[in-house]
Copies of this chain bind each other. A is one copy, B any other.
Amino acid sequence: MHKIALVGAGRIGRIHAANAASHPQLTLSHVVDPIAANAADVAASYGAQVSTLEAVLADKSVTGVVVASSTDTHLDYCIQAHKVGKAIFCEKPIDMDLNRARAASGTLAGARLFLGFNRRFDPNFQALKIKLEARTVGKLETLHIISNDPSPPPVSYVKVSGGLFKDMAIHDFDMARWLLGEEPSEVFAWGSCLVDPEIAKAGDIDTARAILKTPSGRMCVIANSRRSGFGYDQRIEAFGSAGMIHADNVVKSTVQVWTETGAQADQFQNFFLDRYADAYRAEMAHFAVMLTSAAKPDIGYADGVAALALAEAAAKSLQTGQTVKL
């Protein structure tokens, strides 16, 4: 059994805590959080101890650290954990600032650091990728990534979020890199504030369209809105030379009701805690494999930097009205 410390016992930290605790090869041993009640609550649920980062780093029996603290602490905690030889499972994004993130690349290049872009572990997107790589539809030409949240976050959150591209589309930039088979070399982005005028006042957009282009001419459209009106809208269409692969939204059940108004399917899963529950479990299983073998992480530090670079490029394109080369 590998001992895991959780740093950050908020919403996402609690999911990782539950998955670590129920994994047959992992034990949740330490919980760290600046809010004492959070740490105490999570620790009590899984028989772990409330601790501090210093204590975790000093405890040689702890082999894995899950960094689920606020984004501005990610880089610092990762570097500290890496220096004492811990394996790290860090939540995305790696940082809000591309220059800072790039500056740490040297230090973290060799880290056993798994960056938690959860969508790569979604069974539906994995099925799409498997079929894509098996050339089921020939050679990939274009992608359409649809990623709409069910409803906008509070404006207070938007103000500190880093903006739609870094906060929300960062996942989609990672998916694009994962699927395109080539690094995007140019970005164009447009955005509007159509959902909530307070978001515009906060200097952000709530609706965006970005296009990525690769050297060979592949294109990827990323469509984002802070509000769908029908739950979590997470779809991908991958067009190849011999057809298209489509990963659709997930419904709550297979039940349909047929009445005079037509066939009504069940609701779509509402948000990420539901849609990506399996993905979070699979992430922890992947971390366990890293701990129990020499396996490298499927997603590393460089992936975090690359996604951030795309997000900054999109933001710059939005600001300037010009395409941005990477």
Contact = CB atoms under 8 A, between A and B. Distances in A.
Interface size class of A (residues with CB under 8 A): 35 or more
Interface string A239-260: 1111111111111111111111
A110 interface: no
Interface in A215-249: 216-219, 221, 223, 225, 227-231, 233, 239-249
Given A225-B239, A230-B244, A253-B127, A259 B194 contact: no
Interface string A290-321: 00000000000000000000000000000001
A141 interface: yes
A262 B264 contact: yes
B230 A218 contact: no
A209 to B, nearest CB: 5
Interface in A245-294: 245-268
B219 A243 contact: no
A192 interface: yes
A320 to B, nearest CB: 10
A49 interface: no
Contact of A244 (B228, B244, B323): B228
Nearest to A24: B45
Q: How many copies does the complex hold?
A: 4
B192 A217 contact: yes
A243 B259 contact: yes
Interface stretch (A6-14, A27-35, A131-139): A131-139
B219 A231 contact: no
A213 interface: yes
Nearest to A251: B262
Interface in A115-167: 123-124, 126-128, 131, 136-138, 141-142, 144, 148
Interface of A: 22, 24, 45, 123-124, 126-128, 131, 136-138, 141-142, 144, 148, 188, 190, 192-195, 207, 209, 211, 213, 216-219, 221, 223, 225, 227-231, 233, 239-268, 321-323
